[in-house]
Every structure is written in structure tokens, then in C-alpha cells.
Amino acid sequence: MHGLLGQAPNLRSFTLHPDVSGGKGAEGKERAVVRVDLRNHGNSPHSPVMTTDAMAGDLIHLMDRLGIETAVVLGHSLGGRIAMAAALC
């Protein structure tokens, strides 16, 4: 996930690297890369609430909607903080 004032395309070059997008996970399964815009960033809807817990909840909700049970979550700056908060949910 991107940092404060960023958006999903900021990590495009990283997510296109073959070790990230073309590799297999520890269990030999194909990996999918999902880049997201945090709330109030990029193409995400506006919300008056912009707390770390709310954005971690957004990530958990997205993973549930996509049927993702386990994931490696990468975040830069604010995105890293949200990734850590989501891990504690």
C-alpha cells in the first residue's frame, strides 16, 4: 500500500517485478498482486474518518470480499502502518 498522499500506481514498478508478480508463494501456489488506494486517496471514495483502524478495517474488508484468507501485505510509510494494524485485527 502507498504512503500518505500517494495512490496505488505509486507501487506499479515494484508489483511488476517477476519475483513479486510472477512467482509462487511458499506453498507453490501462484501469487496475485492487488494494489489498493487507501481511503481518501486516488480513486477511493471520500470518508470523513481517516484513522489507522478504519483503514485497516478497509483492508480486511477488501480481503474478505476478494476471498483472500492469507496474504503478504506490503506497505510504504502510512501503508506500512495500516498493514501492521490489519495484522493485529
Is pTM beyond 0.75? Reply is yes
pLDDT of residue 31: 74
∠ CA 63-15-52, rounded to 5°: 45
Residue type, 43: N
Cα within 13 Å of Cα(4), Cβ side: 6
Summarize the confidence of residues 6-14 as an average pLDDT.
Answer: 84
CB atoms inside a 10 Å sphere around CB 29: 8
pLDDT of amino acid 42:
93
Q: Flag the least confident range among 11-15, 28-32, 35-39, 47-51.
A: 28-32
Backbone angles phi, psi at 24, to 5 degrees: -115, 150
SS3 assignment for 1-50: CCCCCCCHHHHHHHHCCHHHHCCECCCCCECCCCCCCCCCCCCCCCCCCC
